[in-house]
Structure 1
């Protein structure tokens, strides 16, 4: 029996990329870099970066088609509003992307998935800039 074209469910990016494990690893690798960054670390007032790591993992899982836990726990992401209290200038943008690039590289994703993820992260980082310079 032939399966009609278009009848198989499409996998989400979240599933294609490896699901929860991939996004938790991305957040963990990212915050390992942030922990020692003199520009970014002060933007995280908590002594432990664990809560920020959890928020990032949950947000990215939801964004890419995984569970909606982020919104269930925190409401709408409102990324610009949540970042407004912090000075996000070009230097912070560059530092964030530097650590995120290392984290993405550490995932070993298929090239097309890696490109899609990276394009979004570059866009997201750019949209968080709220201070000239």
Structure 2
């Protein structure tokens, strides 16, 4: 029989971005490196009232994992992300936007992703940063 060993198009599930870039470990590295920058940042650090940035780091890690196609632990623990609502109590201006992207850029570059994956991730991060701005001051 001809073609018996041929895998039909569409029968294999395509890998998610999460899987393609290395799964949980990659997102934990990304977010951990980002929060190392936040810890020393005079603009961003005051937005984190918790003494320890660990809980915020874990929340962001779980969100990123879920967003990019990994387990849905974030929603199971916290419900719908509602990112703008969750950031509303904080004054997020252009300076905060720029500081956030500065630390995220360092974190993304240190991952050593393929150019295509890095560009895809960066497009989302720049969009997300812009969408969190809630004040012109």
Match for residue 57 of structure 1? Answer: 61
Q: How much does 1:88 deviate?
A: 0.1
Q: Select which of 27, 32, 41 maps to 1:28.
A: 32
Show the 5 A alignment for 1:1-133: 1-133=5-137
5+ residue gaps in structure 1? Answer: none
Q: Offset of 1:8 from its aligned partner?
A: 1.2
Matched residues in 2 for 1:76 and 1:3: separation?
38
Kindly state the Cα deviation for residue 6 of structure 1 after the two structures are TM-superposed: 1.8
What RMSD, in angstroms, separates the aligned Cα atoms of the two structures? Answer: 0.6
Q: 2:61, 2:27 → 1: CA distance?
A: 5
Please give the TM-score of this superposition, normalised by the length of structure 2: 0.96
How many corresponding residue pairs? 133
Q: TM-score w.r.t. structure 1 length?
A: 0.98
- Between the aligned partners of 1:131 and 1:17, the Cα distance in structure 2 is 34
Deviation at 1:5, TM superposition (A): 1.5
Distance in 1, matches of 2:51 and 2:112, equals 30
Gaps of at least 5 residues in structure 2 are none
Q: Please identify the structure whose Cα radius of gyration is greater.
A: 2
